[in-house]
Amino acid sequence: MFETTTIRTDDKATLYKELAQQASGILAGETNLVANAANFAALVFNALPDINWSGFYLFDGTELVVGPFQGKPACVRIALGRGVCGAAASTRETQLVVDVHQFEGHIACDAASQSEIVVPLVRADGTLLGVWDVDSPSVGRFDDEDRAGMEELCRVFMTSVA
Ligand code: SME
């Protein structure tokens, strides 16, 4: 069993730093994509307050297909350029959505979701692995510290499956 101690801090930078350390510990020594993606999604879902979905959409060469996640069942396939996930995949830039109802084309998988952050996952050779998506039931849940923290977590994840 992995030791995942509860991180008690109001400081987001500290929270993400400790979470990145836990992620690298859990993913170390394993390179299997599904195994590491599943444990990564579970780690983040249980460590971060005020979120209702965390998981992966993986690029199959044509579109994004839902991968390992925590939360309610989600839409399975998302075309590039569609929704927040498709925007992250096609622009290859993190999408930070303060209020999903203000995002043209947002795909509502769980009606509870009010804000969202999606980080593109790009391999060292420049090809797209997929995206990492986290949803919150609160408007404005994610800010620039979350963006930096999530991007660092994704670097840890991508290193593990490289
Ligand atoms: N809201 C996303 C779809 C995926 S769910 O949030 C799990 C989007 O607009 O791409």
Q: Check which CATH number belongs to the domain holding 21 and give it.
A: 3.30.450.40
Q: Kindly state whether residue 63 falls inside one of the protein's structural domains.
A: yes
Alpha-carbon Rg for the chain, nearest whole angstrom, is 15
Q: Kindly state whether residue 111 falls inside one of the protein's structural domains.
A: yes
Choose one of 77, 97, 107, 115 to mutate for the ligand 1 pocket test, by most ligand atoms within 8 angstroms of C-beta: 107
pLDDT tens-digit series, residues 41-58: 999 999 999 999 999 999
Q: Kindly state whether residue 3 falls inside one of the protein's structural domains.
A: no
Q: Kindly state whether residue 6 falls inside one of the protein's structural domains.
A: no
pLDDT tens-digit series, residues 63-118: 999 999 999 999 999 999 999 999 999 999 999 999 999 999 999 988 999 999 99
Rounded to two decimals, the pTM is 0.95
Q: Kindly state whether residue 59 falls inside one of the protein's structural domains.
A: yes
Extract the tokens encoding 158: 């991508």
- Our count of domains for the chain comes to 1
Range list of H helices, the chain: 12-27, 33-47, 83-91, 144-161
| Residues in contact with ligand 1 (CB, 6 Å cut-off) | 53, 74-75, 78, 83-86, 106-107, 109, 113, 116, 133, 135
Q: Kindly state whether residue 4 falls inside one of the protein's structural domains.
A: no
Domain with 37, as residue range(s), is: 12-160
